[in-house]
A and B are shown apart, each in its own frame.
Chain A
Amino acid sequence: MSGGVDSSVAAAMLAEAGHEVIGLSMQLYDQSEGQTTFGSCCSIDDLHDARRVATHIQIPHYIMNFERQFNEQVVANFVREYAAGRTPLPCAHCNSDLKFATLAERAHGLGADYVATGHYARVEQSAGTGHYQLKRGVDPSKDQAYFLFSLTQAQLAQALFPVGEWTKSAIRDYARARHLPVADKPDSQEICFVPDDDYAGFVGRHLPAGVNRGHIVDEAGHPLATHDGIHRFTVGQRKGLGLAHSPTGQPMYVIALKPADGDVVVGPKTSLERTTLTASGVNWIEGAPETRRRVTAQIRHRHRPADAFVEALENPTRAAVTFDEPQLAITPGQAVVFYDGDVVVGGGWID
């Protein structure tokens, strides 16, 4: 229970259906020095909101300390990825490495059979194969299946996503009808541990090897300007390049990041187009496909999935994707998730 409306309603729905529900919240940062400047999820106020909701729906509620695990598994990876010139997706790591790993284990230790969260996604057990399937939430504007692609069969078997069957407005209505204290609380947007959405500032403060300064170069390698750290850039970025005017007169975009040289490569929009990608750390929800498979593939959270073929490589934790049409700004570090309609076939991390 993050203290937001979605996980609050998830708990309330299960309690109302007669399940024995234990509310768990994760404390992810050190709150001891009174830091309350973190973003909109899991700050101390949010933990208190979760407690108020639990009291309201009359379930026990506990806050578990995951500071160390969050730091090691999510924050450190986030910083490392930016330092390596990639653009990480910490929410997906938090789901697979914390919520449905350590937190789920703790829940089992308390005798719980399932772990429910407030994600807009659905889990269904296929009648034929007995496999668990991960599906998009019914509200396309809120769907979060993308962030859950790395859940295994074992994790899905114990996962419940009660709000995934509903639209966001239905969830708000449910919360208001039951007078949940967070019914009108705004949705969280940013990455929860980065205050003010200032990723570059956060990463800069946490880089173990210091800031990797260098040059902004064109595609031929000619330096155009200097920059204050490669972690400040992401593929597809147009603003904040510090180029007074583009050499070609056209808008310039970040095409690639080369941390070894400290280079940020820029070029015109057309240079951002790619039709192929490879991915690592691939999770196939119902096993790797034996042949090339027709899917739609989504390369970032706000990307409309595009028609593509995916094939598992020799090492099935790697996959190759070929899009029918060129895609803009395929970004290393983000997830690529493969769908068959609403069903998540699998996904991995873009190389």
Chain B
Amino acid sequence: MNYSPMRMYFDYNATTPLAPEVLAQVSRVSADTFGNASSVHHFGQQAKAVLDEARSAVCRLLGADPSELVFTSGGTEADNAAIRGVADAMEATGRRHLVASAIEHEAVLNTFKALARRGWETTLVPVDTSGIVSVERLREAITDKTALVSVMHANNEIGTIQPIADIARITHEHGALLHTDAVQSAAKIPVNVRELGVDLLALSAHKFNGPKGVGALWVKRGTRVLPILTGGKHERNRRAGTENVPAIAGFGVAAQLAATKLPAETTRLSALRDMLEAGILGSVPGTQVNGDTSRRVPNTTNISFDRIEAESLLIALDLEGIAVSTGSACSSGTLEPSHVLKAMGFPAHRTQNSLRFSLGMYSTADEVNTLIAVLPRLVEKLRTLNRARA
């Protein structure tokens, strides 16, 4: 047993390090631009200019118009603002039904639960072992009472990409709105709000080398959404609270970098991911990839290890200096059975024997090779103990 001083990070879907350019921008704006963007005077105007520049950069990443983008404290707030904001606006129309996929992030699922306690009807549409939502099953779930459908663009645990454009068509046939949580797809694959055909879209900066605590909700012009935070007239009356100007400025730079590097990073990361996946499947018996392998973001793989507790393997890897995850953790930091793998119909043991490996900016072939070299020994050790007990 030894603690490696070298640490390797395979958990970019949880969060990412700041890009140096982002750090420089956050520092510069923190130092130079302290004004309140709502102020009339010079200081306020300077801050406002920083926000406008960032807003434009983020909108370029999304093919959106800057007037449609609301900055938030992150992806969770953006999801809440979309779902609660639409629910509040639609309540009077008699549409009191919400639909989502069963593999959504907790930011969506628990917001649905909160609205269900307020009397909203909610439907969660399951997925099959591909991890991709069936458009047909969704069509059956949506009714003329449906106010909003929420389906994530890419899943955080297994990386599968959902057929958002198709879902948008059937959602709109019923006069409902479509929200997509694009937190895990933005900067990994092209995300264009017009091509997706959605009405609302949530983003988070720290998933692509931006600062934590900042995100955005894109709202198609003309969409009725009530603000969930009440207060001053910030963000065109859509989100009260003085803007976090330095973080938003960093968000803008991160979006700009992502837009520039996306094609090259897609190629590089998918090659690394495929190498990692092939390496594990080839060197560790009893391993399988969870979910569809053709329609997924380039940086993610989710692998099940027969006769292993994911919790133990995760800890064993961490003691070797290798950081991975399972995708969902509870409030104390322990692992819970994956609700995503459960929704895909896997048996109980497989919802607790799977690890997520996600790559990003600083991932290298050397790191991947180290992981592949270390993993078989750790798995074998844990399996030997399980055999001894059985």
Tell me the A residues contacting B by CB distance below 8 Å.
20, 22, 27, 31-32, 34, 44, 47-48, 51, 60, 62-65, 105-106, 108-112
Interface SS of A by simple majority: mixed
* Nearest 7 A/B pairs, CB to CB: A111-B1, A65-B334, A109-B382, A63-B334, A27-B334, A47-B332, A109-B385
| B319→A65 contact, CB < 8 A | no
Question: How far does the Cβ of B374 sit from chain A's closest Cβ, in whole Å?
Answer: 13
Known contacts being A27-B332, A31-B331, A44-B332, is A109 close to B1, with CB within 8 Å?
Answer: no
| A32→B319 contact, CB < 8 A | no
| A110→B335 contact, CB < 8 A | no
> Which residues of A sit under 8 angstroms from B309, Cβ to Cβ?
106
Interface positions of B from 282 to 327, Cβ below 8 Å from A: 309, 311-312, 315-316, 318-319
Question: How far does the Cβ of A301 sit from chain B's closest Cβ, in whole Å?
Answer: 29
Q: A20-B1, A31-B330, A32-B336 are in contact. List 12 more A-B contacts (CB 8 A).
A: A27-B334, A31-B332, A47-B332, A48-B332, A63-B334, A64-B334, A65-B335, A105-B385, A109-B316, A110-B319, A111-B381, A112-B1
How far is it, in angstroms, between the C-alpha of A344 and the C-alpha of B312 when the chains are bound? 33
Question: How far does the Cβ of B386 sit from chain A's closest Cβ, in whole Å?
Answer: 8
How far is it, in angstroms, between the C-alpha of A63 and the C-alpha of B334 when the chains are bound? 5
| B381→A109 contact, CB < 8 A | yes
Interface assignment of B389: CB less than 8 Å from any CB of chain A:
yes
CB<8 Å pairs between A and B, sample of 23: A20-B1, A20-B3, A27-B332, A31-B330, A31-B331, A34-B331, A47-B333, A63-B333, A64-B315, A64-B334, A65-B330, A65-B334, A65-B335, A65-B336, A106-B309, A106-B312, A109-B316, A109-B382, A109-B385, A110-B312, A110-B316, A111-B319, A112-B1
Closest B residue to A59 using CB positions: B3
> Which residues of A sit under 8 angstroms from B330, Cβ to Cβ?
27, 31-32, 65
Tell me the B residues contacting A by CB distance below 8 Å.
1-3, 309, 311-312, 315-316, 318-319, 330-336, 381-382, 385, 389
How far is it, in angstroms, between the C-alpha of A48 and the C-alpha of B331 when the chains are bound? 10
Closest A residue to B384 using CB positions: A109
A22, A47, A62, A108: residue with the most chain B Cβ atoms closer than 10 Å: A62
> Which residues of B sit under 8 angstroms from A32, Cβ to Cβ?
330-331, 336
How far is it, in angstroms, between the C-alpha of A112 and the C-alpha of B331 when the chains are bound? 26
Question: How far does the Cβ of B143 sit from chain A's closest Cβ, in whole Å?
Answer: 30
Closest A residue to B381 using CB positions: A109
| B1→A65 contact, CB < 8 A | no
How far is it, in angstroms, between the C-alpha of A110 and the C-alpha of B3 when the chains are bound? 12
How far is it, in angstroms, between the C-alpha of A31 and the C-alpha of B335 when the chains are bound? 11
Known contacts being A105-B389, A109-B385, A110-B319, is A65 close to B311, with CB within 8 Å?
Answer: yes
> Which residues of B sit under 8 angstroms from A48, Cβ to Cβ?
332
Question: How far does the Cβ of A91 sit from chain B's closest Cβ, in whole Å?
Answer: 21
> Which residues of A sit under 8 angstroms from B335, Cβ to Cβ?
65
B309, B312, B334, B382: residue with the most chain A Cβ atoms closer than 10 Å: B334
> Which residues of B sit under 8 angstroms from A44, Cβ to Cβ?
331-332
Question: How far does the Cβ of B261 sit from chain A's closest Cβ, in whole Å?
Answer: 34
> Which residues of B sit under 8 angstroms from A34, Cβ to Cβ?
331
How far is it, in angstroms, between the C-alpha of A20 and the C-alpha of B319 when the chains are bound? 11
Question: How far does the Cβ of B2 sit from chain A's closest Cβ, in whole Å?
Answer: 8
Question: How far does the Cβ of B349 sit from chain A's closest Cβ, in whole Å?
Answer: 12
> Which residues of A sit under 8 angstroms from B389, Cβ to Cβ?
105
> Which residues of B sit under 8 angstroms from A110, Cβ to Cβ?
1, 312, 315-316, 319
How far is it, in angstroms, between the C-alpha of A62 and the C-alpha of B318 when the chains are bound? 10
> Which residues of B sit under 8 angstroms from A31, Cβ to Cβ?
330-332
How far is it, in angstroms, between the C-alpha of A97 and the C-alpha of B112 when the chains are bound? 39
How far is it, in angstroms, between the C-alpha of A60 and the C-alpha of B317 when the chains are bound? 12
| B315→A62 contact, CB < 8 A | yes
> Which residues of B sit under 8 angstroms from A27, Cβ to Cβ?
330, 332, 334
> Which residues of B sit under 8 angstroms from A109, Cβ to Cβ?
312, 316, 381-382, 385
How far is it, in angstroms, between the C-alpha of A318 and the C-alpha of B90 when the chains are bound? 70
Question: How far does the Cβ of B110 sit from chain A's closest Cβ, in whole Å?
Answer: 10
A65, A111, A112: residue with the most chain B Cβ atoms closer than 10 Å: A65
B2, B3, B333, B336: residue with the most chain A Cβ atoms closer than 10 Å: B333
Question: How far does the Cβ of B289 sit from chain A's closest Cβ, in whole Å?
Answer: 24
Question: How far does the Cβ of B214 sit from chain A's closest Cβ, in whole Å?
Answer: 26
Closest A residue to B382 using CB positions: A109
Closest A residue to B318 using CB positions: A60
Question: How far does the Cβ of A48 sit from chain B's closest Cβ, in whole Å?
Answer: 8
Known contacts being A105-B385, A112-B1, is A22 close to B319, with CB within 8 Å?
Answer: yes
Question: How far does the Cβ of B359 sit from chain A's closest Cβ, in whole Å?
Answer: 24
How far is it, in angstroms, between the C-alpha of A57 and the C-alpha of B331 when the chains are bound? 23
How far is it, in angstroms, between the C-alpha of A109 and the C-alpha of B309 when the chains are bound? 10
How far is it, in angstroms, between the C-alpha of A106 and the C-alpha of B309 when the chains are bound? 9
| B311→A60 contact, CB < 8 A | no
How far is it, in angstroms, between the C-alpha of A63 and the C-alpha of B332 when the chains are bound? 7
A31, A34, A106, A110: residue with the most chain B Cβ atoms closer than 10 Å: A110
How far is it, in angstroms, between the C-alpha of A60 and the C-alpha of B322 when the chains are bound? 13
> Which residues of B sit under 8 angstroms from A112, Cβ to Cβ?
1
Known contacts being A106-B312, A109-B385, A110-B319, is A60 close to B334, with CB within 8 Å?
Answer: no
